Structure 1
Amino acid sequence: MSAALKLETKSESEDPIVEVKTALETLTTEVKAKADNDNKLVARITELETKLARPNIIRGANDNVESSAEQKAFEAYLRTGDKAGPEELKTLTVSSDPQGGYLAPSEMSTEFVRNLVQYSPIRAVASVRSTGSPSVIYPARTGVTNAKWKGEAQTQEASEPAFGQAEIPVNEVNTYVDISNQLLADSAGSAEQEVRLALAEDFGQKEASAFLIGTGSNMPKGLFVDPAIAPYAATSNAAVSFEDFINVYYDLPAAYRANGTWGMNSKTLAAARKLKDASGQFLWQPSVQVGQPESILGRPVIELIEADDIGSNKSPVIFGDFSGYRIVDRVSMSILVNPYIRATDGVTRFHATRRVGGAVLQAAKFRKLKNPA
């Protein structure tokens, strides 16, 4: 009997109907679990779509930043007005409006509003060198020998070239800027970048101005104020003419005018663009290629902000090979950040320093157009 029972049990366990039933039950359980997961996923997607459909859901760069207490309080005030809780009202800043009210919380933007800083592109055309000394002395030949024609048996005469020196002192320009630590922190680093950019623009403008109109006293000697550059008299004290440009162009030696560049400010350039010759051809010619400068008599033009306007006893135009002006860099602009000197005031100081010199080395390479008095 025991053997019969064992045989019956074995037969039932190997019954294919039972196996299929068991497999179906297992599959049903798995499908149900998957369906539950799908339903949860659909519900989650629906919830996210609902949130995205709400106005002002996109906050920009600070999506993962939790609202401040002041922002939360202001939102509560907008929803409920004066019925907002005392804690929310205490958090808000009371405005100076006599009718009462509360100011919206401030937000520090990472975008800075800045004005354009213009300066003349003198460095792009001048001769630039570096030095490790407080000044640079260039030996200069100021004259040639004096050979003479002689007949047979006539005695030769001695002559000597003339030599001199041209010294370019290195000058320093500097300043410092104080910025509150709160501004530096709230701006996420952009305030410090703006300070550095402002200093670089300021120093660039100061340098360019000194290279053109500097007095030479504790600053570079300017190109326009150097008395060694020969002037050429214009035909009028209140205008420039087509003939003036031709005269200045050919008054410069051919070796120099081949590398010459015209320099003038925007007002003079506007007047030059209107000039025509007898056949109606414009003096000024537009660039024929992208990236190439406009030209006058085949030579490029640069805009020099510091140049004189057209007027009595003024020099509105300069022409020449600008390699005759030498710029000497001693130290590039350096910025020292000092967070300690005014730490008790919550202020960081930025020190900026630049050492540079400039002077005309070869005045013969230039001509100035000068209006008569």
Structure 2
Amino acid sequence: MIPVVQTKSISDDVASAFEDFARAFEAFKDANDTRLGEIETRLTSDVVTDEKLTRIDTALDDAKRRLDRLTLDRSRPPLGSVAAGASDPAQAEHKSAFHTYVRTGEAGGLKRLEEKALSAGSGPDGGYLVPDNVEREVLRRLSGVSPIRAISSVRVISGGNYKRAFSVSGPATGWVGETAARPQTTAPALAEMSFPTMELYAMPAATQTLLDDAVVDLDQWIAEEVETAFAEQEGAAFINGDGVNKPKGFLASSTVADEDWEWGRLGYVAAGGASFPARNPSDTLLELVYALKAGYRQNASFVMNRKTQSAIRKFKDDNGQYLWAPPTSLGQSATLMGFPVVEAEDMPDIAANACAVAFGDFKRGYLIVDRAGIRVLRDPYSAKPYALFYTTKRVGGGVQDYAAIKLLKFAA
């Protein structure tokens, strides 16, 4: 009798990972309830219970990472099946010329296309533009992997700098009677915000044997190789970048206690010490939520790293309900007090004077600018027998609305 081979689809793997995550969170709640019960009766928790809770907490994080990875993989269509541009002769010609360049180093086809388009993007200028579908796929992948990019506003520009005006003070207004004289009002004062783009690069390598293999989808290969490198660098810069040869992160902005908030600085709520208070720690989070104006709260998210999320995961409200809740379905985020939680490992840990938690409407608060075009320069000489592909994109970022983001600072 011929044995039947059982195969599991990606959907089955995702569903299994989601079930594992849900079971891990139920075990976490049981262990934490036991710990809290021990504290109430003995004023301290048992060491064995604490160790068990730590193990379950680690398993919960591992299950969440596996679920996120599988969900992201499932959402990626193969580039070869992308129909966009398939019927456009110009895009088809560009794609064919680009593949020839990547596989063999022959750039004649790309040069002819750039001469025809009067483009400045020639080899001496730093490489050749990838086909449009590859650029779209790289940016789409970055939106799924880079946590801040996924929740911020993104604008594609054609130049090296994006500028926008904002009103420092509005025009004078007032109430008048139907027939009363209308005094002239003052004009609004405007200022300019600038978002320059900086160069980000990755350099994947391939053997000539791989490049000669006609079965290999080069578009997919390039997108996969640069995805992680770009996402890691972007993720760090959008949070902590100093604006020198990189985007300016929101934590690099000047901060001020929220009661003294002014434009150009991010307001913070003080936690009262170097960690959450032992009694009613959730009150601090509640104060952070309501420091944000109502118009921003409806689309707001929490941003924190895994360690901070692990600490907050133990908090309960006055009714004994956990404030942190796992995602209710595939592709959804965990929530804290009903707001999505974005896990960003570049956020600081809980420590004295650290702004370990951010809360706000990042669509309105933080702007990412991408300069159109991703370039690839083939280098078959520097690392023989490998061919290097120096891949660059230009990206910038910065806070665009200082009222839309609030921080939780662990200070008195």
TM bucket normalised to smaller: 0.5 to 0.7
Shift of the alpha carbon at 1:331? 3.6
2:225 corresponds, among 198, 210, 215, to 198
In the other structure, the counterpart of 2:273 is 236
Q: Which secondary structure does the structure 2 equivalent of 1:364 belong to? A: coil
| Contact preservation (8 Å) 1:239, 1:311 | no
In the other structure, the counterpart of 2:111 is none
Does residue 1:338 correspond to 2:379, yes or no? yes
Unaligned runs of 5+ in 2: 1-141, 255-264
Shift of the alpha carbon at 1:265? 0.5
Identity of aligned residues (%): 33
In the other structure, the counterpart of 1:160 is 187
Q: Which secondary structure does the structure 2 equivalent of 1:201 belong to? A: helix
Q: Deviations over 1:309-355 (max 9, x none)?
A: 1110000100000112111111444333233x459x54423211111
Does residue 1:349 correspond to 2:388, yes or no? yes
2:355 corresponds, among 309, 315, 325, to 315
In the other structure, the counterpart of 2:339 is 299
Shift of the alpha carbon at 1:158? 3.8
Q: How many residue pairs end up in the alignment?
A: 255
Alignment partners' CA distance in 2, 1:181 and 1:290: 40
Shift of the alpha carbon at 1:193? 7.1
Relative distance call for 1:159 and 1:351 in structure 2 (3 A) is: same
Shift of the alpha carbon at 1:212? 1.1
| Contact preservation (8 Å) 2:146, 2:234 | no
| Contact preservation (8 Å) 1:232, 1:368 | yes
Q: Deviations over 1:56-90 (max 9, x none)?
A: xxxxxxxxxxxxxxxxxxxxxxxxxxxxxxxxxxx
| Contact preservation (8 Å) 1:120, 1:306 | no
Q: Which secondary structure does the structure 1 equivalent of 2:234 belong to? A: helix
In the other structure, the counterpart of 1:288 is 328
| Contact preservation (8 Å) 2:202, 2:229 | no
Q: Deviations over 1:23-80 (max 9, x none)?
A: xxxxxxxxxxxxxxxxxxxxxxxxxxxxxxxxxxxxxxxxxxxxxxxxxxxxxxxxxx
2:369 corresponds, among 311, 322, 328, to 328
| Contact preservation (8 Å) 2:204, 2:225 | no
- Equivalent positions of 1:114-129 (< 5 A) are 120-129=146-155
- Structure with the higher helix share, 1 or 2: 2
In the other structure, the counterpart of 1:211 is 238
Q: Which secondary structure does the structure 2 equivalent of 1:224 belong to? A: helix
Unaligned runs of 5+ in 1: 1-116
In the other structure, the counterpart of 1:370 is 409
Does residue 1:224 correspond to 2:261, yes or no? no
Of residues 196-205 and 133-142 in structure 1, the stretch that sits farther from structure 2 once superposed is 196-205
Q: Which secondary structure does the structure 1 equivalent of 2:169 belong to? A: coil
Aligned AA for 2:376? I
Aligned AA for 1:127? S
Alignment partners' CA distance in 2, 1:250 and 1:139: 28
Aligned AA for 1:197? E
Shift of the alpha carbon at 1:148? 5.3
| Contact preservation (8 Å) 2:202, 2:230 | no
Relative distance call for 1:155 and 1:119 in structure 2 (3 A) is: closer
Shift of the alpha carbon at 1:243? 0.6
| Contact preservation (8 Å) 2:305, 2:347 | yes
Q: Which secondary structure does the structure 1 equivalent of 2:403 belong to? A: helix
Shift of the alpha carbon at 1:140? 0.8
TM-score (norm 1): 0.60
Relative distance call for 1:281 and 1:356 in structure 2 (3 A) is: same
Alignment partners' CA distance in 1, 2:210 and 2:173: 73
In the other structure, the counterpart of 2:286 is 246
Alignment partners' CA distance in 1, 2:391 and 2:330: 37
Relative distance call for 1:193 and 1:137 in structure 2 (3 A) is: closer
Aligned AA for 1:121? P
Of residues 245-254 and 325-334 in structure 1, the stretch that sits farther from structure 2 once superposed is 325-334
Q: Which secondary structure does the structure 2 equivalent of 1:335 belong to? A: strand
What's the Cα RMSD here?
3.3
Aligned AA for 2:371? R
TM-score (norm 2): 0.55
Shift of the alpha carbon at 1:216? 0.4
Relative distance call for 1:334 and 1:204 in structure 2 (3 A) is: farther
In the other structure, the counterpart of 1:136 is 162
In the other structure, the counterpart of 2:33 is none
Alignment partners' CA distance in 1, 2:208 and 2:219: 10
Relative distance call for 1:133 and 1:269 in structure 2 (3 A) is: same
Q: Which has the larger radius of gyration?
A: 1
| Contact preservation (8 Å) 2:154, 2:368 | yes
Alignment partners' CA distance in 2, 1:137 and 1:173: 20
In the other structure, the counterpart of 1:5 is none
